[in-house]
Amino acid sequence: MPDTPKPGVPDLGAVDGPLLIEALRRAARDLRRAPGFAVIFAGVYVLGGWFMAWITYVTGQSYWLVFAAVGFPMIGPFAAVGFYDISRRIEQGRPLDWMQIFSVVLRQSKRQLPSISAIIIVMFLFWFFLAHMIFALFLGLSTMTNVSSSLDVYLSANGLAMLAVGTLVGAGFSTLLYMITVLSLPMLLDREIDFVTAMITSFQYVARHPVTMLAWAIFIAALTLVSMLPGFLGLFISLPLLGHATWHLYDMLAYGPQRGRPSA
C-alpha cells in the first residue's frame, strides 16, 4: 500500500487514561515485533549521550552535562519519526522494509517534516544559549577549580538558584516543544497539511485536554530521565516505546480506538 497522505486536519477524539494505556500496549507489541529498529534508532541517541558525557569530561566543564540532560529529550522526536513509520506499517500490514523506514525523513523532504524539524533544532540551540546565560548569571564569578570532581559549586546558594531557574526554564521549553509536537509530528506523516497548522492543532489539543495530556508529558519526561541515568542505556527501551505509543495515540485520536489489531 503506497503512502497516500490524507488532506486536512483530522477530527481528533477525546483522550483519557485508558486510551493512553492502550497506546502503550500497542507500542509494546510493536517493540516486540521490530526490536532491531529499536536498537538502531535508539542507539544513535545512546551514542550521542555518551559523546556529550565524554566532551563534558575531557573539557572539565561539567555544567554542560546538567543542561544537556535537560535539553536532550527535546531532540527525541527525530528518532520518533522512524518509529511512527514502523507502527504505521504494522497497523497496515505492510512489510518492514529497512531502506524505506530508514529513509522516512528523507522521503518527506518535499513535505513539511524538515520545517518542523528545523524549529526543534532552533529551540534546542536557543535552550543551550539561554542555559549558558543562566550559568553565567549565577556562577560566572564562582571559583571553578573543583567543578569537574565535586558537586560543591552546585550546592552553594548561587548553584542551587541556578539549578532551580534552569530547571524551570528548561521545563517551560520542554512543555512548549511537547505541546507543538506531540500530535503534529505523527500528523505530518499521516496528513497533507502545513507544519504551522499541525503545530497549532497539536498545541490547541493539549490546551483543551490539559490534565490528561500534561500527565502524559510528565510520564514521558520521567521515563526518559530514568532511562538516561544508567549511562543512557535505558533509551534502548524508552525511546522505541514512547515513539510507537505516540503514533498509536495519534492514530486512535484521529481514527478511533478500534483502529488496528487488538493488543497482544
Tell me the H-state helices in the chain.
17-33, 35-59, 63-71, 76-92, 98-102, 104-107, 113-139, 152-155, 157-181, 184-190, 195-208, 210-228, 235-255
Cβ contacts of 64 within 8 Å, gap of 6 or more:
52, 55, 56
Alpha carbon distance 245, 240 (integer Å): 8
- Residue 187 burial (CB < 10 Å; 0-12/13-18/19+)? buried
pTM score: 0.81
Per-residue cell: 222: 520521567
pLDDT in tens, the chain (264 residues): 446 667 889 999 999 999 999 999 999 999 999 998 888 888 877 887 787 777 777 766 655 565 555 555 555 566 678 899 899 889 888 888 888 777 776 666 666 777 887 788 788 778 878 888 888 888 776 655 444 455 677 777 888 888 899 889 888 888 998 999 999 989 988 888 999 999 999 999 999 999 999 999 999 989 988 988 888 888 899 989 999 999 999 999 999 887 654 443
Alpha carbon distance 199, 194 (integer Å): 9
The DSSP call for residue 74 is: G
Cβ contacts of 26 within 8 Å, gap of 6 or more:
87, 244, 245, 248, 260, 263
Count Cβ atoms below 10 Å from residue 132 Cβ, excluding itself: 14
Contacts within 8 Å (CB) and 24+ apart, 53-56: 53/232
Alpha carbon distance 10, 145 (integer Å): 56
Query: What pLDDT, on a 0 to 100 scale, did the predictor assign at position 142?
Result: 62
Alpha carbon distance 48, 45 (integer Å): 5
Per-residue cell: 116: 518542523
Alpha carbon distance 21, 216 (integer Å): 10
Alpha carbon distance 188, 40 (integer Å): 23
User: CA triplet 91, 46, 93: central angle to 5 degrees?
Assistant: 10
Query: What pLDDT, on a 0 to 100 scale, did the predictor assign at position 76?
Result: 59
Query: What pLDDT, on a 0 to 100 scale, did the predictor assign at position 1?
Result: 45
- Note the residue count of the chain: 264
Instruction: Tell me how far the alpha carbon of residue 45 is from its chain's centroid.
Output: 11
Query: What pLDDT, on a 0 to 100 scale, did the predictor assign at position 33?
Result: 92
Query: What pLDDT, on a 0 to 100 scale, did the predictor assign at position 124?
Result: 77
Query: What pLDDT, on a 0 to 100 scale, did the predictor assign at position 182?
Result: 93
Query: What pLDDT, on a 0 to 100 scale, did the predictor assign at position 264?
Result: 37
